[in-house]
Chains A and B, each alone.
Chain A
Amino acid sequence: MNEMSKNENIDIQIYNFAYLDENTKRMIRRALLKALCIPGYQVPFSSREMPMPYGWGTGGIQVTSACLIPKDVLKVIDQGADDTTNAVSIRKFFQKTANVAVTEKTSDASLIQTRHRIPETKLKEKQILVYQVPIPEPLRFLEPRETETRKMHALSEYGLMYVKLYEDIAKHGHIETAYAYPVKTNGNYVTDPSPIPKFDNPKMNNSPAIQLFGAGREQRIYAIPPYTNVKSLDFEDYPFEAMKANFKCSICGSSDSYLDEIIVSDDGKRSYICSDTDYCKEQTKLNSKKEDQL
């Protein structure tokens, strides 16, 4: 019996706080601070192998791991939802390795790790939003060579990106890019906002919260400090437009939140629901309160 309780103790302390070792955290922390000093610039870092496959947020959890403190309240979302596999497993991971409190409420969270969405609820000062990023380089599909894209950033040579957006207009009559829509950060670097829908782009601008981006496979960290100008690229005659499906959520009735399209029957009947599950729950609660008052 005594032997067993000893082992259990070992089991609890088997990880350093928040999983990563102190030296790795130092390296990531240095990269994070330089990233904040140079908004939108991608700082290389020696990404570690994490206990999950690339593409599941290895960059995001390394950033979260380097930032977590014991009194943090952690929220993890995947496409806006708290209850999908990726979100659940990352949340459990930090409950186990850092023993932090977790929440689904955006306003209660001090650190939010996200895959591909920004919460609908306005973020506050000192809240940290950690993005999981698959391809941090916005120019990568236009120019495959890292040596070249690095030069292009150094010279602010972004003509190629404008040509791509122009070609969209020439082909489709409007800018077709609907997610990972490129932004210019602090008037300097063109930055990939990670594959968030362009509906979310305006939320990055002048946000009071700290936005950190981690790309594990591509070994890059970048950041957008609070109150920073973030402008979606566009043309004078084709201004940027945040877009969403023109429907109401069939659960809470909200018409101002980003919607997911779901197929609800075998003959292809469609329905739309909020992508942000926490926002949807809040709206539903507000609605039932209103009904009670009537």
Chain B
Amino acid sequence: MENYPFSENSINSSIAFRSLLNATSYPGRSFQINKLNKPSVLSNAAAIILITLCDNESNVYLSKEYNTEEVRNWLIFNTGAISSNKKNADFVIGTWKSLLPLNEFKIGVPEYPERSATLIIEESKYKKVKCNIDGPGIKNKLHIELPNPELFIENNNLYPLGLDFYFTNDLEILSIPRSTKINIIKTEH
């Protein structure tokens, strides 16, 4: 039983998915997720996304820091996911810096815009820029901090194609889907 990431698989995966569903529905807002057994380098939140969504049809790209034997074994044992390169990845995990440039990931095609990568951004040690976000799921403009917001603006310009992002931090997830519009707040020097 200890090998399983969730103590009660079906129930806990449903609770984890509800957090993901809420996070995706209300971009820019943090949602709490529950704890699970996971490799030490991965955050709880990132591990939960992989466990809840990946199976043997999912291509997963692990960036350098996460491409360890422990993570690979954990992922294959629990999900059967396929280790993938950047170009074919459905799910991508890494720190912001290690995943740049973003243009190697798939953004879908006009007939099938859903065939695009979901990026899970670990750690929040990036240069933060203050932004306003707006769009589906956002009632009033929200104030958040993003790394390289110009890349998110570029991504939104591709809409309905593009990448979907989850920022993960220990027990929290926050989503920025392709539909979110970003405005950089100019600060005076």
Residues of A within 8 A of B (CB): 16-18, 22-23, 25-27, 29-39, 41, 43, 66-70, 125-126, 128, 150-151, 153-155, 186, 188-189, 208, 210, 225-229
Contacts of A27 in B (CB 8 A): 55, 57
The 3 closest A-B pairs by CB, nearest first: A154-B110, A37-B177, A17-B10
Taking a contact as CB atoms under 8 Å apart, the answer to whether A36 and B25 are in contact is yes
Q: Is the CB of A226 within 8 A of B17?
A: no
Interface residues in B77-128 (C-beta closer than 8 Å to A): 110-111, 113-114, 116, 118
A22 touches B9 (CB 8 A): yes
For residues 1 through 30 of chain B, which have their beta carbon under 8 Å from a beta carbon of chain A? 9-11, 13-15, 17-18, 20-22, 24-26
Residue total for B at the interface (Cβ-Cβ under 8 A): 37
What residues on A are CB-neighbors of B185 within 8 Å? Answer: none
Check: B172 CB closer than 8 A to any chain A CB: no
Per-position 1/0 for B146-180, Cβ under 8 A of A: 00000000000001100010000000000001110
A123→B177 CA distance, assembly (Å): 23
Chain B residues lying within 8 Å of A228, measured Cβ to Cβ, are: 136-137
CB-CB under 8 A from B132, the residues of chain A are: none
Q: What's the least CB distance linking A67 to chain B, in Å?
A: 7
Shortest C-beta distance, B102 to chain A (Å), equals 16
Knowing A36-B24, A37-B164, A210-B21, the reply to whether A226 touches B137 (Cβ < 8 A) is yes
Say whether B10 contacts A36, CB under 8 Å.
Answer: no
In the bound complex, do residue A126 and residue B113 qualify as a contact, i.e. CB atoms below 8 Å apart?
Answer: no
* Chain A residues positioned under 8 Å from B54 (CB to CB): 26
**For the complex, is B129 an interface residue (Cβ under 8 Å from A)?**
no
Q: Does B138 contact A (CB under 8 A)?
A: yes
Q: Given A67-B21, A210-B21, verify A26-B136 contact (CB < 8 Å).
A: no
Whether the Cβ atoms of A30 and B14 lie closer than 8 Å is no
Check if B52 is an interface residue, CB within 8 A of chain A.
yes
Give A157 Cβ to nearest chain B Cβ, in Å: 11
State whether B25 touches A226 (Cβ < 8 A): yes
Which residues from chain A contact B26 at a C-beta distance below 8 Å?
125, 225-226
Q: A22-B9, A69-B18 are in contact. Are A34 and B110 (CB under 8 A)?
A: no
Asked if A151 and B114 sit within 8 Å, CB to CB, the answer is no
Partner of B18, one of A26, A43, A67: A67
Chain A nearest CB, measured from B161 CB (Å): 9
With a CB–CB cut-off of 8 A, which chain A residues contact B144?
none
Q: Which residue of B lies closest to A17 (CB)?
A: B10
A-B contact pairs, 22 of them (CB 8 A): A18-B14, A22-B9, A22-B10, A25-B17, A26-B52, A26-B54, A27-B55, A27-B57, A30-B58, A33-B118, A34-B164, A36-B24, A37-B24, A37-B114, A38-B178, A41-B113, A41-B160, A67-B17, A150-B111, A154-B110, A210-B22, A225-B24
* Residues of chain A within 8 A of B164, CB atoms compared: 33-34, 37
Closest chain B residue to A151, Cβ basis: B111
Known: A36-B24, A67-B18, A155-B110. A16 touches B53 (CB 8 A): no
* A186 and B52 within 8 A (CB): no
Q: Is B139 an interface position by the 8 A CB rule?
A: yes
Other A-B pairs beyond A36-B137, A41-B160, A69-B11, 11, CB < 8 Å:
A25-B13, A27-B55, A29-B17, A33-B118, A37-B24, A39-B179, A125-B26, A150-B111, A154-B110, A188-B160, A189-B160
Contact A17 B24 (CB under 8 A): no
Flag if B14 contacts A17 (CB, 8 Å): yes
Bound-complex Cα distance A69 to B8 (A): 13
Q: Given A41-B114, A210-B21, decide whether A33 and B53 contact each other with a Cβ distance below 8 A.
A: yes
Asked if A26 and B21 sit within 8 Å, CB to CB, the answer is no
Q: Are B111 and A17 in contact (CB under 8 A)?
A: no
Q: Is the CB of B136 within 8 A of A225?
A: yes
Complex CA gap A208/B137 in Å reads 8
- Cβ contact within 8 Å between A36 and B113: no
Task: Tell whether, in the assembled complex, residue A17 and residue B11 are in contact, meaning their CB atoms are under 8 Å apart.
Answer: yes
A227 near B10 (CB under 8 angstroms)?
no
A154 & B55 in contact (Cβ 8 Å cutoff): no
